[in-house]
């Protein structure tokens, strides 16, 4: 079986749903259920005979070791992380604790588990660390996309904490021989994403008749990756990725933030027109840019295509429409996660 950390979050829950649908292998989900971890994401498989859930912190090494000892775990897929740049600016401590210290504790538990395995099974064990393209810093408009060999230049507490975790993972391979693989992905979007990130936030605000907040001039460029594509890429890396290697995962879909929101508004105009007339783009509002806002990210995903045969199945046009239709069809899920605490956060972050 495999152990997934942070499996109740956005990407982790999509991964588990896809894993149980495409494989016969059991999965253990270890998640602390912080604000962005939602058991409702996995309601469809809660009673699945090949799914088990443990609530707990990756920083609790004794707990992780007990989970590993209780099952025949042949791989760990490490999603658990604090992941929102804006939150890292307001409260960096949680990012250091989870992303750096938590990853260290998880690596220690994984190392002990791996060293306890019989020689034959030890060779097949994998620790797959899921990271971000933000560790590479910001690209100039004319610069080539990020490659796996690019220098790390993190510009936010979030990206710095993920860069630190990447280095820890690398060190455990070179020092102890732990068979690790790291993936660095571009901006994900799709079902079950907590509505603090750009796309679900704007879908929610548009339908609620609220402003659609755009930082600065809105020309910050991101490479957009549909979450289901990301999950299939992780499956490929877990199956055939080379220990000690890094694989960049991107969608080949560079879009400025303002164009993303305008596309989103145009699709909503088709799928669910405003009751009072007019278009959703009328709700776009520009707000003060956040400190140190990176202007451009882009992923060169040729290595994973060349070595493992993976390419994204979705274009941005197909992925964004699927995403919007999912949110339109899951209003109850959105309502359940939009708590008072969430509204307070949005007011503080985007208010005047």
The pLDDT score that the predictor gives to residue 272 is 97
Among 12-21, 77-86, 245-254, name the one with the lowest average pLDDT: 77-86
End-to-end CA distance of the chain: 49
The pLDDT score that the predictor gives to residue 340 is 66
Q: What is the mean pLDDT of residues 247-256?
A: 97
Q: Which helix (H) or strand (E) holds 255?
A: strand 254-256
Largest pairwise CA distance in the chain: 68
Strand order in the sheet with 187-189: 187-189, 221-226, 254-256
pLDDT tens for 209-234 read 999 999 999 999 999 999 999 999 99
Set 31, 133, 196, 229: catalytic member: 133
- Write down the domain spans for the chain: 2-188+227-252+292-314
pLDDT tens for 294-317 read 999 999 999 999 999 999 999 999
Query: What pLDDT band is residue 352 in, cutting at 50, 70 and 90?
Result: very low
Nearest-angstrom CA–CA distance, 222 and 225: 9
Set 51, 136, 158, 226: catalytic member: 158
Output DSSP code: residue 135.
G
Nearest-angstrom CA–CA distance, 44 and 46: 6
Per CATH, the homologous superfamily of domain 2-188+227-252+292-314 is: NAD(P)-binding Rossmann-like Domain (3.40.50.720)
Residue 299 tokens read as 């992923």
Residue 125 has pLDDT above 70, yes or no: yes
φ and ψ of 129, to 5 deg: -100, 120
Q: What is the mean pLDDT of residues 107-135?
A: 96
Residue 320 tokens read as 């964004």
Where b means 16+ CB within 10 Å and e means fewer, 261-275 reads bbbbbebbeeeeebe
Residue 333 has pLDDT above 80, yes or no: yes
Written as one string, the DSSP assignment of 308-340 is H----S--HHHHHHHHHHHHHH-HHHHHHH--H
Set 82, 86, 134, 300: catalytic member: 134
272-278 — which CB contacts under 8 Å span 24+ positions? Answer: 272/207, 272/328
pLDDT tens for 196-211 read 899 999 999 999 999 9
Residue 336 has pLDDT above 90, yes or no: no
Angle between helices 316-329 and 198-207 (to 10 degrees): 50
Residue 151 has pLDDT above 90, yes or no: yes
Whether 148 is a known active-site residue: answer: no
Q: Please give the mean pLDDT across all residues of the chain.
A: 95
Q: What is the mean pLDDT of residues 44-57?
A: 96
The pLDDT score that the predictor gives to residue 224 is 97
Whether 158 is a known active-site residue: answer: yes
Where b means 16+ CB within 10 Å and e means fewer, 199-220 reads bbbbbbbbbeeeebbbbeebeb
The pLDDT score that the predictor gives to residue 350 is 63
The pLDDT score that the predictor gives to residue 337 is 84
Q: Which residues touch 71 (CB under 8 Å, ≥6 apart)?
A: 1, 3, 26, 28, 52
Evaluate whether 68 touches 113 at the Cβ level (below 8 Å). yes
The pLDDT score that the predictor gives to residue 19 is 98
Helix (H, G, I), strand (E, B) or coil at 160: helix
Residue 108 tokens read as 């220690």
The residue assigned the tokens 């429409």 is 321
Q: What is the mean pLDDT of residues 268-282?
A: 95
Helix (H, G, I), strand (E, B) or coil at 151: coil
The pLDDT score that the predictor gives to residue 351 is 62
pLDDT tens for 10-38 read 999 999 999 999 999 999 999 998 877 88
């Amino acid at each position: 079986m495999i152990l997934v950390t942070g499996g109740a979050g956005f990407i982790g829950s999509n991964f588990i749903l896809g894993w149980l649908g495409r494989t016969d292998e059991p999965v253990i989900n270890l998640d602390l259920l912080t604000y962005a971890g939602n058991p409702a994401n996995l309601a469809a498989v809660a009673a699945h005979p090949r799914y088990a859930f443990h609530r707990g912190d990756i920083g609790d090494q004794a707990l992780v070791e007990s989970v590993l000892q209780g099952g025949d775990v042949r791989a760990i897929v490490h999603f658990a992380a604090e992941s929102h740049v804006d939150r890292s600016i307001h409260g960096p401590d949680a990012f250091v604790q989870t992303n750096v210290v938590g990853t260290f504790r998880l690596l220690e538990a994984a190392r002990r588990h791996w060293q306890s395995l019989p020689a034959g099974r030890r060779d097949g064990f994998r620790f797959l660390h899921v990271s971000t393209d933000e560790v590479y810093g910001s690209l100039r408009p004319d610069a080539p996309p990020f490659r796996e060999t690019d220098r790390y230049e993190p510009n936010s507490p979030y990206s710095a904490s993920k860069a630190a975790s990447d280095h820890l993972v690398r060190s455990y391979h070179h020092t102890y021989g732990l068979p690790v693989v790291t993936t660095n992905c571009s901006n994900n979007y799709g079902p079950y994403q907590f509505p603090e990130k750009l796309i679900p936030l704007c879908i929610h605000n548009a339908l609620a008749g609220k402003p659609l907040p755009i930082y600065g001039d809105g020309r910050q460029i991101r490479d957009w990756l549909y979450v289901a594509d990301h999950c299939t890429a992780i499956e490929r890396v877990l199956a055939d990725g080379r220990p000690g290697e890094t694989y960049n995962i991107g969608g080949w879909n560079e879009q400025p933030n303002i164009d993303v929101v305008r596309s989103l508004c145009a699709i909503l105009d088709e799928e669910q027109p405003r009751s009072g007339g007019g278009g959703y783009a009328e709700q776009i509002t520009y707000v003060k840019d956040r400190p140190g806002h990176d202007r451009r990210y882009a992923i060169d995903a040729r290595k994973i295509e060349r070595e493992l045969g993976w390419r994204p199945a979705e274009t941005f046009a197909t992925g964004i429409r699927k995403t919007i239709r999912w949110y339109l069809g899951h209003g109850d899920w959105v309502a359940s996660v939009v708590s008072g605490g969430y509204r307070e956060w949005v007011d503080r972050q985007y208010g005047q």
